[in-house]
Amino acid sequence: MSKSSVFPYGITLREGGTIDIFPSAEIKIQSKEREWLSIFLLIDSGAALSALPRSDSSFLGINVEKGSLMYIYGVSGQPVRGWRHNLDIRFGNNAMNLPFVFLDNPNTPRVLGRAGMFEKFSIVFDEHGKRSGFLNSASREAKEVGKILSRIS
């Protein structure tokens, strides 16, 4: 059974001093040296798959071209070449295996998509508190959220 987790929003400093705050989640992934490293991903309900830039693959010891070739279409509508791999990760207190696509675009954001994640959790965005909650779908908290949504729909 997956355990619930709460994550603070991520912060990015952009060129010109602009600060972006975004819903993020921390995962741990093994480097090629077998060390568990933290990576913060943008939570993206519009993304079917989680994504990483191709440049991350060498750090993780993955030969991207041994994965399944695919093309991803983002907001721009332009196809981006990528290779799908299943990766073992740690998410809060959960060990999971998720599909990731390594995209052949150096500007690709690190994204946590729906596959393998969203069906296991009720996800709550607390914009006021600048945090995201991943509630185990069978938990009392997730059931309470479901009841609240049912009352207001």
Place of tokens 């912060």: 11
pLDDT score for 48: 94
pLDDT score for 13: 85
Could you tell me the two tokens for 12?
A: 């990015």
pLDDT score for 116: 94
- Burial, 128: exposed, middle or buried (Cβ in 10 Å; 0-12, 13-18, 19+)? exposed
Specify whether the CB–CB gap between 111 and 44 falls below 8 A. yes
Could you tell me the two tokens for 96?
A: 């999971």
Fold entry, domain 5-152: Cathepsin D, subunit A; domain 1 (2.40.70)
- In tens digits, what is the pLDDT along the chain, a chain of 153 residues? 678 999 999 998 888 888 999 999 999 999 999 999 999 999 999 999 999 999 999 999 999 999 999 999 877 788 999 999 999 999 988 999 999 999 999 888 999 999 999 999 999 999 999 999 999 999 999 999 999 999 998
